[in-house]
Amino acid sequence: MFRINYIMLLRGIGYMRIIKKFPESAVLVSKVFNDVIKKSPVHLPYSSIEFHVRDYNTTIVEDDKAVICMDHNSPVILNRDVRGISTAIKFELFRVMLRPGFPREIEDVVVGREMVLQGLGDDLFYFYYTSLMKRPPVSLIDYVRASVPWITFRGVDNYNSSFLKELLAKLQKKKFPEASKVLNYMCNNKFDEAAKEYKKLFTSELL
């Protein structure tokens, strides 16, 4: 059973249309979304934003419309963790503001760093810490995803970065040396090179 809600939000001189589609079990996520979007300082130059809670994460931007999908199996949603849900939504709003245009994990670093610079580092750390403790990496893509937290904080908050890196080392049961090149590029802000390496890595993995 899905609910669909419409909201018109006054933004600057015009209105932004917000469409939310979510299952009954995600009413809390919808409420948190309302709180976040009303207070969000993020500049969102869109005529409409669609927010879905469904079975995967994705964010699509087309012209002046954005679609944000959050996975209802995310640990913060399953645990009804308001701080975590709020951070995840803010993260996606930053993403649609910045529109980095890289593969998702690389975008996550760009977006996360901006959030840290905007003073949301504590929330982001909490979100990453909670997520890492729930989903230890088992595959190559999991490992790249699980490396995003420490890479995000690297250079902007080394204390949290080294904690997240050591935490990952404790969680990780298998090593993935093939990921070192893409992670190095991400660490050094070489996002275009990281994107090329990422495509090579995961296209060849699919083949």
| Residues of this chain that bind another protein (CB under 8 A) | 130, 133-134, 136, 159-160, 162-163, 166-167, 170-171
In the bound complex, what is the minimum distance in angstroms from residue 150's beta carbon to another protein? 12
Toward another protein, which CB reaches closer, 106 or 146? 146
In the bound complex, what is the minimum distance in angstroms from residue 83's beta carbon to another protein? 10
In the bound complex, what is the minimum distance in angstroms from residue 144's beta carbon to another protein? 19
Phi-psi region of 52 (alpha: psi -120 to 50; beta: other; left: phi over 0): beta
HSE, side-chain direction, 13 A CA sphere, residue 161:
15
List, in order, residues 6 or more apart from 93 with CB less than 8 Å away. 36, 37, 40, 42, 44, 68
Toward another protein, which CB reaches closer, 96 or 132? 132
DSSP code of residue 47: S
CA atoms of 186 and 46, how far apart (whole Å): 29
In the bound complex, what is the minimum distance in angstroms from residue 95's beta carbon to another protein? 26
Toward another protein, which CB reaches closer, 46 or 150? 150
